[in-house]
């Protein structure tokens, strides 16, 4: 069989969503951001709401998310994306509004905006990429850097006595009455990608039904910051980050998921 015979519409099993632009991703090879972007854009495409969706890009590696997402987007000051989203959603409640934020943005400088938007129950979706490090600025310690993890500002490993504890902000926001759906997933293998996509679909559906705030954490990697090749970075993530940031639903239909 010749190649030309295989390339036919009926044999198509995957295509890139047109909601991703043709721009070459600025992320490092192996980084989870590209997959996470694609998941969010696929969900918006499948719901047919490109015309009515506004995304908020943070400060951090995904500051240029608007170069890759083919929707109207607003770039926010560091940590302020949930406040910007509030300003949009409150004045235009029919629009779908989501923020796409990293751990430094959402869980350090933007802690107040995160907690208060969640607590008010703003009818928005928050996509939170947690790779335990400040990627954009060159690998400094983040609020989610786990104990013992080496970064450029914790070169001997995170010392809890000296540097304080990593913050489980997702578990924290799940406690607030304004959050309706809170989940943590990852994008390191196809099974995880499918779970993340289902969670993102659910999050946008909740927004459509005006049920409250949906918060999806995606535990991801940072090969450059962690100084590991992509495959090893994902292994390290599974072995070291998952015990502290376990994947799974945390709050469903406004109720905390009971642990076994």
**72 lies in the site for another protein, by CB under 8 A:** yes
Cα distance between residue 80 and residue 109, in whole Å? 8
Name the residue among 182, 197, 176 with its Cα closest to residue 17. Answer: 197
**169 lies in the site for another protein, by CB under 8 A:** no
Name the residue among 4, 41, 234 with its Cα closest to residue 131. Answer: 234
CB of 220 to another protein, least distance (A): 22
**172 lies in the site for another protein, by CB under 8 A:** no
**75 lies in the site for another protein, by CB under 8 A:** yes
**112 lies in the site for another protein, by CB under 8 A:** yes
Please identify, using beta-carbon distances, which residue of 48 and 155 lies nearer to another protein. Answer: 48
CB atoms within 10 A of CB 11: 8
Please identify, using beta-carbon distances, which residue of 92 and 253 lies nearer to another protein. Answer: 92
**222 lies in the site for another protein, by CB under 8 A:** no
Select the residue interacting with another protein from 28, 30, 34, 87 (CB under 8 A).
87
CB of 156 to another protein, least distance (A): 33
In sequence order, which residues have a C-beta less than 8 Å from that of residue 197 and are 6 or more positions away? 39, 42, 43
CB of 253 to another protein, least distance (A): 26
Contact stretch for another protein (CB under 8 A) within 30-38, 63-71, 130-138, 227-235? 63-71
Cα distance between residue 199 and residue 181, in whole Å? 9
Select the residue interacting with another protein from 25, 77, 163, 256 (CB under 8 A).
77
Show contacts of 64-70: CB within 8 Å, 24+ apart: 64/26, 65/37, 65/100, 67/21, 67/23, 67/26, 68/20, 68/21, 68/23, 68/25, 68/34, 68/37, 69/19, 69/20, 69/21, 69/37, 69/40, 69/41, 70/18, 70/19, 70/20, 70/21, 70/41
**41 lies in the site for another protein, by CB under 8 A:** no
Contact stretch for another protein (CB under 8 A) within 56-64, 141-149, 176-184, 217-225? 56-64
**86 lies in the site for another protein, by CB under 8 A:** yes
Contact stretch for another protein (CB under 8 A) within 81-89, 151-159, 241-249, 250-258? 81-89
In sequence order, which residues have a C-beta less than 8 Å from that of residue 222 and are 6 or more positions away? 28, 31, 131, 132, 133, 135, 139, 233
Contact stretch for another protein (CB under 8 A) within 85-93, 127-135, 158-166, 242-250? 85-93
Select the residue interacting with another protein from 91, 161, 190, 210 (CB under 8 A).
91
Residues within the interface to another protein (CB under 8 A): 50-54, 56-57, 63-64, 66, 69-77, 80, 83-88, 90-92, 94-95, 112-113, 116
């Amino acid at each position: 069989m010749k190649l030309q015979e295989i390339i036919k519409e009926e044999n198509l099993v995957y295509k890139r969503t047109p909601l991703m632009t043709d721009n070459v991703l600025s992320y490092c090879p192996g980084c989870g951001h590209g997959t996470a972007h694609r998941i969010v854009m696929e969900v918006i495409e499948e719901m047919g709401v490109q015309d009515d969706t506004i995304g908020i890009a943070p400060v951090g590696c995904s500051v240029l998310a608007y170069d890759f997402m083919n929707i109207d987007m607003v770039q926010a000051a560091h940590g302020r994306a949930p406040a910007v989203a509030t300003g949009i959603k409150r004045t235009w409640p029919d629009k779908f509004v989501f923020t796409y934020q990293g751990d430094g943005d959402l869980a350090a400088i933007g802690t107040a905006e995160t907690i208060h938007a969640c607590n008010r129950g703003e009818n928005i979706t928050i996509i939170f990429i947690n790779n335990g490090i400040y990627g954009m600025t060159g690998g400094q310690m983040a609020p989610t850097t786990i104990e013992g993890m080496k970064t450029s500002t914790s070169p001997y490993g995170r010392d809890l006595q000296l540097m304080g504890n990593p913050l489980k902000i997702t578990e924290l926001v799940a406690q607030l009455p304004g959050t309706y759906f809170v989940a943590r997933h990852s994008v390191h293998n196809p099974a995880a990608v499918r779970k993340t996509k289902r969670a993102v679909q659910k999050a946008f559906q909740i927004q459509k039904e005006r049920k409250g705030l949906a918060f999806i954490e995606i535990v991801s990697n940072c090969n450059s910051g962690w100084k590991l090749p992509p495959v090893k970075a994902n292994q390290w993530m599974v072995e070291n980050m998952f015990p502290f940031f376990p994947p799974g639903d945390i709050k469903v239909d406004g109720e905390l998921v009971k642990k076994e």
